[in-house]
Amino acid sequence: MTPNPLLDFSGLPRFADFKPEHVTPAVDALLADCRAAVARAEAADTPAEWDAFVAPMEDANEKLGRAWGQVSHLHSVMDSPELREAYNANLPKITVYYAELGQNEALFAKYKALAASAGYADLSPARRKIVENELRDFRLGGAELPADKKARFMEVQEELAQLSAKFEENLLDATNDFAHYVDDAGELAGVPEDVLAMMKAAAEADGKTGWKITLHMPSYLPVMQYADNRDLRETVYRAYVTRASEFGKPELDNTPLISRILRLRREAAELLGFRSYAEVSLAAKMADTPAEVLKFLDQLAARAKPYAEKDYEELKAFAASELGLSDPQAWDTTYVSEKLRVARYSFSDQEVKQYFPEPRVLAGLFKLVETLYGLFIREDNAPVWHPDVKFYTLYDRAGQRIGQFYLDLYARASKRGGAWMDDVITRRRKPDGIQTPVAYLNCNFSAPVGSTPEGGKRPALFTHDEVITLFHEAGHGLHHLLTQVEELGVSGINGVEWDAVELPSQFMENFCWEWDVLKHMTAHVDTGAALPRELFDKMLAAKNFQAGLQTLRQIEFASFDMHLHDDFDPSGTRSAQDLINEIRRQVAVIVPPAYNRFPNNFSHIFAGGYAAGYYSYKWAEVLSADAYALFEDEAEGYGGVLNPEVGHRFWSEILAQGGARPALESFKAFRGREPTIDALLRHNGMA
């Protein structure tokens, strides 16, 4: 067995053997192998043929990607000072290597020669798509720049990678830095029992009495939603929206990082001959221009705003008449909304949550995959990074392994916030057969607390929103795992346009509103009773509760992101905060307080891959709603939306295709036409 687990590619990652001191020697060895493969590929006597130069480089780069992927993953889910140091020491080396690769003129020339060769027509469509993508990426990577500009472009890429990592670390540290201890139970009136149990356990872990409130979602959200104590809500809200800003520790303030990131992105774009970073970002997406995206967002905002205004008027009227709040503030809206929903639809999130214990939810999700695609998911064994992590294998009817995934559901201090899917191993054909894909699915739900009346361990309970989040990430996972493509560069989610990547994930969310799905995945945690149909009907009636406000909020973020990377001057006198304030004045119905520092914790665009791409959530929602509408259209003849025939068509035309063809072609192959916005508006109650 390889002493360094990061250099062992014989199977699944060896998380049990991993130590931070493995990172540097592994990265150095793999980079040396990659550079040797590049040197052989660019040599004059290496023919411009797939097997001669593309395949060997692909093999070397895959190993580097798999090893660094494990390090990045652990940095996100089990951060420690030692791992953070190793990660930050090696990130520049990785960044420089990929930047060098993107600027390699000899390789660029070789790809151009391959594209112009007689043998190009004989390549499979997937391989031709990879070559097309490579030629585009060389141009975007600066391969055509003169030497002095190349060197500067490289420096910019390196600094951007470090700034993004620092942004995420500051946000995690600022989130962990806050703790509010409460000794008087009366101050926590309204907060659900299971949340109080979690807060009590958190205080005990710190050697304190009473209850501990943190800014992690399982603690923060219930306070905002249920705590009757308005001062407490304001305290916690203010701490949350000022994370990593000038209101906290100076060393964790992301304000200077935002400014520097934006200046460097603009500089990189100008070096490449683009007007703005948004234009660079869209070069590899479905949308063509920033103007097209902004027009799409403006049209959607125009449709949503009247609904949002109506939502807000109702909220204010209810707050005044029922709660005595004549002027509800930002720290009141979630609380008032919950009270209004209970009053209008006679149920609360907390009531629904009792019907969604983790084992039943997972069983329901797995049953859906079985029904739609004829695949079976079984719990399996593998080394994991934390005792809470589970591992599963996906089989077809013949017992053939299709793929595998890790499931890390709970929030903890060492884990970044949010929910995400990442790839561990990607499907490809190798000399000894097919390499099956493996994925990570990560969420930040509340861990189980307390015990059952029989003395057993009480399972984790999920809100319906958390069930939707789980299905969303499972959709990304299925996109990665159910690919039928055998070429690494366009297999799974590789090569899929960023604004289409959310299609399979948002598509899966729709099933969380289907009785035929939910009835299989609910059992009251204490009685075992299934979710009553009457309660489900109330949930359905409330499905589009405040949909106008929620849609407008997403448009606000997406417009901010696109303007920030398109027509905002990063060297001018206005700040990113000034810009979001302006956009809120135009778009928002609820304007948060002046101290709100949303940009400082918008890690999607400053530390994730969503810069000038946050609009893709709404863009892909048009695609996913329209795709799901086919299941609805066929439901009458079949007797429900769980139609395996349509499911297999979705698999073969969208999931299976990976990035081997443009996403719009895959959509049209499935739907038989171009996408329309109608289904999205109908699903959101805004038709």
**CATH architecture of the domain covering 358-531:** Orthogonal Bundle (1.10)
- Residue 453 pLDDT exceeds 90: no
CB 557 within 8 A of CB 614: yes
Confidence at residue 442, expressed as pLDDT on a 0 to 100 scale:
98
Place of tokens 């299941």: 631
DSSP tag of 448: P
Confidence at residue 20, expressed as pLDDT on a 0 to 100 scale:
98
Confidence at residue 637, expressed as pLDDT on a 0 to 100 scale:
87
The residues, any chain, with a CB within 8 Å of residue 455's CB and separated by 6 or more, are none
Dump pLDDT digits (tens) for 26-79: 999 999 999 999 999 999 999 999 999 999 999 999 999 999 999 999 999 999
Q: Retrieve residue 168's tokens.
A: 């995420």
Confidence at residue 687, expressed as pLDDT on a 0 to 100 scale:
82
- Cβ count near 207 (within 10 Å): 6
Domain with CATH 1.20.1050.40 in the chain: 5-144
DSSP string, 218-232: HHHHHHHHH---HHH
- Confidence category of residue 451, pLDDT binned at 50, 70, 90: confident
CB 110 within 8 A of CB 254: no
Separation CA 624–CA 508 (nearest Å): 9
Separation CA 403–CA 672 (nearest Å): 29
For residues 450 and 240, the model is more confident at 240
Active-site option among 338, 466, 473, 497: 473
DSSP string, 637-662: HHTSS--HHHHHHHIIIIITTTTSS-
Confidence at residue 423, expressed as pLDDT on a 0 to 100 scale:
97
The percentage of the chain sitting over the pLDDT mark of 70, rounded to a whole number, equals: 100
DSSP tag of 567: T
Confidence at residue 247, expressed as pLDDT on a 0 to 100 scale:
98
CB 13 within 8 A of CB 383: yes
- Confidence category of residue 531, pLDDT binned at 50, 70, 90: very high
What's the sign of the alpha-carbon dihedral 591, 546, 240, 169? negative
Confidence at residue 455, expressed as pLDDT on a 0 to 100 scale:
74
User: How far separated are the first and last CA of the chain, in Å rounded?
Assistant: 60
- Confidence category of residue 515, pLDDT binned at 50, 70, 90: very high
Q: Which of 223, 220, 195, 227 is nearest to 448 (CA)?
A: 195
Type of residue at 293: V
Confidence at residue 646, expressed as pLDDT on a 0 to 100 scale:
97
Q: Where are the alpha helices (DSSP H) in 498-643?
A: 503-509, 515-518, 533-541, 547-566, 576-587, 603-606, 616-638
Separation CA 328–CA 315 (nearest Å): 9
Confidence at residue 2, expressed as pLDDT on a 0 to 100 scale:
83
Q: How much is the average pLDDT of 148-161?
A: 96
Instruction: Name the fold adopted by 5-144.
Output: Glutathione S-transferase Yfyf (Class Pi); Chain A, domain 2 (1.20.1050)
- Confidence category of residue 456, pLDDT binned at 50, 70, 90: confident
Residue 546 three-state SS: coil
Confidence at residue 575, expressed as pLDDT on a 0 to 100 scale:
97
| Phi, psi for 355 (deg, rounded to 5) | -95, 0
Type of residue at 662: P
| Superfamily the domain 252-347+546-614 falls into | Neurolysin, domain 3 (1.10.1370.10)
Q: Retrieve residue 251's tokens.
A: 């060393």
Q: How much is the average pLDDT of 358-383?
A: 97
| H-run or E-run covering 27 | helix 23-42
Dump pLDDT digits (tens) for 572-624: 999 999 999 999 999 999 999 999 999 999 999 999 899 999 999 999 999 99
The residues, any chain, with a CB within 8 Å of residue 524's CB and separated by 6 or more, are 354, 355, 530
Separation CA 510–CA 529 (nearest Å): 24
- Residue 452 pLDDT exceeds 90: no
Largest CA distance in the chain: 82
Confidence at residue 237, expressed as pLDDT on a 0 to 100 scale:
98
Type of residue at 85: E
- Confidence category of residue 454, pLDDT binned at 50, 70, 90: confident
Query: What is the four-CA torsion angle of 455, 385, 217, 505, rounded to 10 degrees?
Result: -110
Q: Return the exposure string of 56-81: e unless at least 16 CB atoms fall within 10 Å of the residue's CB, then b.
A: bbbbbbbbbbbbbbbbbbbbbbbbee
Q: Which of 422, 458, 443, 421 is nearest to 216 (CA)?
A: 443
Please report, for residues 29, 148, 155, 317, the alpha-carbon distance to residue 260 in angstroms, rounded to integers and kept in the order given. Answer: 32, 21, 13, 44
Q: How much is the average pLDDT of 291-301?
A: 96
Residue 473 falls in the annotated catalytic set = yes
Q: What is the pTM assigned to this prediction?
A: 0.95
- Cβ count near 100 (within 10 Å): 17
217-226 vs 193-205: helix axis angle to the nearest 10?
130
- Residue 450 pLDDT exceeds 80: no
- Residue 564 pLDDT exceeds 80: yes
Domain with CATH 1.10.1370.40 in the chain: 358-531
Q: What is the mean pLDDT of the chain?
A: 96
Q: Which of 245, 276, 241 is nearest to 258 (CA)?
A: 245
